[in-house]
Amino acid sequence: MTLNIEIIKSSIGAIIHDVDLNTVDENTTQQIQQALLDHHVIFFRNQQLAPQAQAELARGFGSLHIHPIFPTVENVPEIIVLDSWKQDLRDNELWHTDVTFSKNPPLGCVLQAIKIPPVGGDTLWSSGVAAFAGLDQSLQQKLKGLTATHDIRQSFPIERFAHNDVERKKLEETFKRNPPVVHPVVRTHPVTGQPILFVSEGFTTRINELEESESAELLQYLFAHATHEQFHLRWQWQEGDVAIWDNRCTQHKALFDYGDAHRIMHRATINGDAPFYQAAS
């Protein structure tokens, strides 16, 4: 069977129709993986994946990551629960690439909409491939030689995520286990070879080779450029939707515009490799 793919935008995004993710065979899985490489984020409507089935789907892409902070589904630790009534999810309003505070950030994620507000709660994704291609050539060359620091504390400040001494101690221990890491500002996609702009306001704190003021100015420019509307899409969720994105070449943000309405998402995170930059031959 050939996938029925509807392209959302030339730079990013596609909807795959007529697939039940509970019953995908090897051939369909390979086509889904290729579609992900081609479009960076892909969507499926009207799915009903139990947590274990969602984890198994994600394992088709690689081993799964256990998040150091977010709660998980009971007996399925690979599935984190993002529940607006139980957590402060405002950190997700920052554009970010998931878990870049790790030496080996995730390959990708599988996100399922469990409960969606009647209005609001959309998610935006942006393409780092398109963003890099959209820079002028001189800036492209400058960025290729630079590295940046990524820090978990940027998105998980103690004053918002620790409400008592026990939570504070737990969060401080998490910070110790996850010290700041350094990644290239431009990384090479390990499969496609494409150059990717790899900084985000969620975790990137400075460009190491520049003076602090120049670093701050350049990062603010890159954050704005990388998330310009020409490089991003906006997804309006329905319950049962599943999104799969390539975390190596995208960043995203959830909109916290639904007040006290209830929003629950389940996410599986696929382990990845250390980012690198390799000049095109």
250 Cβ contact list (under 8 Å, min separation 6): 12, 40, 41, 97, 125, 126, 127, 128
Provide the 3-class DSSP secondary structure of residue 51: helix
Active-site residue, from 40, 65, 96, 263 = 96
To the query of whether residue 267 is one of the catalytic residues in this protein, the response is yes
Active-site residue, from 187, 248, 252, 266 = 252
> Which H or E element spans position 268?
strand 264-270
Active-site residue, from 40, 65, 98, 189 = 98
β-strand partners of 76: 73
Mind giving me the DSSP string for 145-185? T-EEEE-GGGTS-HHHH--SHHHHHHHHHHHHHS--EEEES
157/171 Cα distance (integer angstroms): 9
Hey, what amino acid is at 113?
Answer: A
80/23 Cα distance (integer angstroms): 23
To the query of whether residue 96 is one of the catalytic residues in this protein, the response is yes
Count of C-beta atoms within a 10 Å radius of residue 89: 17
Mind giving me the DSSP string for 223-262? HHHHT-GGGEEEE---TT-EEEEETTSEEEEE---STT--
> Catalytic positions, please?
96, 98, 252, 267
